[in-house]
Amino acid sequence: MIKGVNRQVVEVTETGCDYFERVLFFIKPEFSAVSEGDLRARATAIAQSVGLPPAARLKRSRLRTALRLGAAAFCGAAICGTILTLILRF
């Protein structure tokens, strides 16, 4: 939630990144006297410099997700097997 009404905001719609369609920059009050063109140029440069996340980080998260799903499936199978064994003994 944004408090206050007198906030200057610069919106960058061309981020140069597939992940984000727009970026909002909230200007500090002490820099409100800077021209809009300078603020927009600086905001655009920052938004376009972010780029994509490293590929290694994406692969690592996919591997971690796959390992978690595999561990959950194994635990579920072990629990079901234990319950089935107990039921068949009685």
Do 72 and 58 reside in the same domain of the chain?
A: yes
Do 43 and 57 reside in the same domain of the chain?
A: no
Low-confidence ranges of the chain (pLDDT < 70): 1-6, 51-60
The predicted pLDDT at position 36 comes to 84
Q: How many domains does the chain have?
A: 2
Tell which residue, 29, 23, 73, has the closest CA to residue 46: 23
In a domain, 1, yes or no: no
| Those residues with Cβ within 8 angstroms of residue 14's Cβ, 6 or more apart along the chain or in another chain | 44, 48
Distance of CA 58 to the CA centre of its chain: 11
The predicted pLDDT at position 8 comes to 81
Do 43 and 62 reside in the same domain of the chain?
A: no
- Give the domain range for residue 84: 53-90
Q: How far apart are CA 72 and CA 78, in angstroms?
A: 10
The three-state secondary structure class of 48 is helix
The predicted pLDDT at position 13 comes to 84
Residue type (1 letter), 20? F
